[in-house]
Amino acid sequence: MKFFKIIILIVFMCLFVRQAEAQTFYEHEVSLSAGLFQLRSDYGISNDSETNFGNQGVAFSLNYYYNTAARRSASYFQQHFKYRLNLSYSTVNLEHFGPDADDPRLASMEGSYDNFSIGNGFEYYPLGIKIRRIYSSNFLDNFSPYGGMAFGVNFVTPDATSSLPGGLGNPDNVFPTFLSESSSNGIDLENLVSLSLNFQLGARYKINDKSDIFLESSWMFFDSDFVDGLSPVGPQNKNDDWSWGINVGYTYIFF
């Protein structure tokens, strides 16, 4: 199943690259970004600020953009959309927060999440992508808000430990939420490949003819509840894991 997911992504990316090569007027861009990252998972309490800021890590990203706005007969799509390929790495240390966190089984438990992600999608610029992208002394002329959507493949490494004698291998050290009478317990620390649906909202500001800086907020919704290694057993567990991040970056434009 993991291999099948990877093949789907590779085919999807090749289709876009093949289409891009068929264009004669184009523009390439590369950006680097870094920022804060929060994993909204089964550590702590949902929609709790202590949990969200306590389980906060960092993320780094390398992005490639392609657009055909310079075409003399550019369509609406070409004037307002850019193709984006994203490679990112995010990491965070995890612990439990909330009213139950004083329980020794939760207080002694710590985890971590590392994710190498490949994303493939589009960015939409409602104000349009300027044909010549020339720097202007007018602030508004250099300002470009955008939104984006992409599909991602995530190579996730979760981990969890307990400082109690016997660690998590001793059922007495595991909080009941993560135990079941069946063999499908709520802890699985195997590496996994997870698909995701990614969204971005951001704004660019041009600092010269070939350089932009940007601020971006992003959301990633996984198709698995085990990206943190935990999945509470029972009907109370209604949502898969997801993440939120905010980052700043620099873009260089190749004409």
Least Cα distance to 218 among 36, 91, 87, 63 occurs for: 36
Top-confidence residue, 255 or 156: 156
**151-166 per-position pLDDT tens digit:** 999 999 999 999 999 8
For 111-120, write each residue's pLDDT tens digit. Answer: 999 999 999 9
Per DSSP, the three-state class of 207 is: strand
* Both tokens assigned to 133: 């992208």
The pLDDT, as a whole number, for residue 9 is 54
Instruction: Determine how β-strand 211-222 pairs with β-strand 56-67.
Output: unpaired
Q: Which two tokens stand for residue 195?
A: 């698909």
Nearest to 190 by CA among 239, 226, 232: 226
H or E stretch at 105: helix 104-107
First to last CA, the chain: 40
What confidence score (pLDDT) does residue 212 get? 92
Q: What is the pLDDT of residue 199?
A: 96
Question: Is-contact 144 204, C-beta < 8 A?
Answer: yes
Model confidence, pTM: 0.82
d(CA 148, CA 217): 10
- Categorize the per-residue pLDDT at 186 as very low, low, confident or very high, splitting at 50, 70 and 90: confident
Task: Quote the pLDDT of residue 28.
Answer: 86
Residue 100: which pLDDT band, with cuts at 50, 70 and 90?
A: confident
Q: How many CB atoms lie within 10 A of CB 213?
A: 15
**226-237 per-position pLDDT tens digit:** 999 988 776 566
DSSP code per residue over 111-134: EEEEEEEEEEEEEE-TT---SS--
With CA atoms as reference, report the closest residue to 162 among 170, 154, 151: 170
- Degrees, nearest 5: CA angle 14-19-196: 45
